[in-house]
Structure 1
Amino acid sequence: MATVVFVHAHPDDESSQTAGSMARAVAEGHRVVLVVATNGDHGDAPDDLAEGETVVDRRRTEMAGSVSVIGTHRVVWLGYADSGMTGWAQNDHEESFFRADLEEAAARVAEVLREESADVVVGYDWHGGYGHPDHVKVHAVTKRAAELAGRPRYLEVSMNRDAIRRAFEALRASGADPGWDADDPMDDGNPIGTPEAELHWACDVSEWIDVKRAALEAHASQSDARELLSMPEPLFAAAFGVEYYLEPGRPAGMQHAWFLEEEGVVAESA
């Protein structure tokens, strides 16, 4: 069995991006560890905050619900401040993840990798999927942490831009308007995700789609989570039943397979 460490930027990113893979790994007997870079303090402040309760308190409580549903074995909070979107004043906050020293942050993640004797570590693609400064920083930090730890196999979660484009074309053919295009510039000016030709793994997590939805429901205070949950269940299943990964150094070509089932992958990283 393998130990897989997933590194995410904010509380709730695990639910929308890799909850299916995390739940599948847990179900198959692997150890799953989650590292959360920021405390999510610039997320939505719900109207029902109790006296003395902060947004950070609520998001930690919600994360506890999410990982309980998924079955995650350990959560590590790095505790950096949420950096906000590109160009926001929060980018320059002295405690923001965006401003964090790369080597220092990577060393903290590498320490977790060594503590866990991690076989696999999962970060984000080069532009964090959609250009959010904290997501871009997760890419740099996780990649460097894997180098420092010297052991784990390194993957990057992303979104399949071509699959999104095909889905939007189908919606438009049915008379619906998704309101944006897969090739529109995102937060950093680049289109969302990664072209299909550059991806390496398309992992079927449809059996765990209810877990993914329940993990999102745990983050009910956040409008992004509520927006995804507003999708009809069949559409949600079609959109989130496959999770996509890059594996730098792997030969080109997307495999419709589970990255933990490839013969020898864990042994090779040992």
Structure 2
Amino acid sequence: MSQDPTTPLTFMAVHAHPDDEVFGTGGTFAYYNEQGVRTVLVTATLGEEGEIVDPALDEQAKAAMFPRLGEVRREELKQAVAALDIQESRLLGFRDSGMAGRDSNQHPDSFHQANFAEAVKRLVALIREFKPQVIVTYDAFGGYGHPDHIQANRITNAAFDAAGEPRCYPELNLPPWQPSRLYYTAMPRSFMVQAMKAAQESGEPGPWNNPEMNTAIMGTPDEQISTRIDVRKYIDKKIQALTAHKTQIAPDNFVFTLPEEQRKQMLGYEHFVLVRSAIASHHGELEQELFTNLA
């Protein structure tokens, strides 16, 4: 019911919008694909409420695109998926809720307003289909407080348990599957403070120049980090994937304009916090892998 030694190792990440897959997990996707691990991306919405930043479009063109923005971003997502060598990409089928406090949060089709049991059921179906041993999503704050990121955290935690419980969603007609580990994406607080300081000293324009930015509370406390994946080899793939999301990430975005060494530091490592384990809790030195000691 839970683990089958004949089941291939499978990594699943649950994200809220197109482009989220690159930040925090893009290199990990490419890394595990190269290691022969099956990779699965679950995207909850199509980013219908996001701002259009493509400089090739004037305001009239942006206004014309907005009603079909989800369709446009679905195609951008496909390109990013290809760049990161993600083997399976599935949609949960909800609508972007927009940033916290906006009227779009109340849209009946938004992820924020989704029937919780239905949202969990959709994810349980994918977990039972693909049988991932490792699942990754955001922390309880959704990384930065976006309603859809918070909802992704909520349904992933519930689905982690429900997928392995045969009494939950028997109508799916899929055998139960208990994932082994659930991780949250993370950015070490020490790295955030160091990176923001270096960016400010570089003179490059960017969000780090906002005087209201409190770097002392940014990121995840270092002692909570359980895992660091070295993805420096895959930085070019991450850049290619970010470039694919051209309606969301402009060519002058700081990710593209950072000096080479800072780019390596920002994009070359992906960090995680082990929060749920059907095997054992984490102790001691940082893991270098997400699939350590599964047996």
Q: TM-score range by the shorter chain?
A: 0.7 to 0.9
One-letter code aligned to 1:22: F
One-letter code aligned to 2:232: S
1:160 has 2:174 as partner: no
1:1-270 equivalent positions in 2, closer than 5 A: 1-45=8-52, 46=54, 47=57, 54-150=68-164, 151-152=178-179, 153-172=181-200, 178-180=208-210, 184=214, 191-223=217-249, 227=253, 228-249=255-276, 250-252=281-283, 255=286, 257-260=288-291, 262=292, 264-265=293-294, 267=295
Identity over the aligned pairs, expressed in percent?
A: 33
CA contact (8 A) 1:156 1:245 kept: yes
The change in CA–CA distance for 1:14 and 1:254 in structure 2 (over 3 A counts) is: farther
Shift of 1:49: 6.7
The change in CA–CA distance for 1:68 and 1:6 in structure 2 (over 3 A counts) is: same
Distance 2:194 2:13 in 1: 28
Distance 1:127 1:145 in 2: 18
Shift of 1:158: 1.8
Shift of 1:235: 2.0
Distance 1:224 1:253 in 2: 41
One-letter code aligned to 1:36: T
Distance 1:253 1:9 in 2: 32
CA contact (8 A) 1:165 1:182 kept: no
CA contact (8 A) 2:192 2:219 kept: no
One-letter code aligned to 1:219: H
Deviation string, structure 1 residues 66-112 (Cα, Å, up to 9, x no partner) = 00111111111112111111111111111111111222211111110
One-letter code aligned to 1:7: V
The change in CA–CA distance for 1:171 and 1:184 in structure 2 (over 3 A counts) is: same
Distance 1:43 1:253 in 2: 41
How well do the aligned residues superpose, as a CA RMSD in angstroms?
2.6
The change in CA–CA distance for 1:42 and 1:174 in structure 2 (over 3 A counts) is: closer
Structure 2: which 5+ residue stretches go unaligned?
Answer: 1-7, 165-177
SS in 1 for 2:209: coil
Distance 2:105 2:248 in 1: 20
SS in 1 for 2:12: strand
One-letter code aligned to 2:15: H
One-letter code aligned to 1:247: L
TM-score, L = length of structure 2: 0.80
Q: How many residues align?
A: 260
Structure (1 or 2) with the larger CA radius of gyration: 2
TM-score, L = length of structure 1: 0.87
Structure 1: which 5+ residue stretches go unaligned?
Answer: none
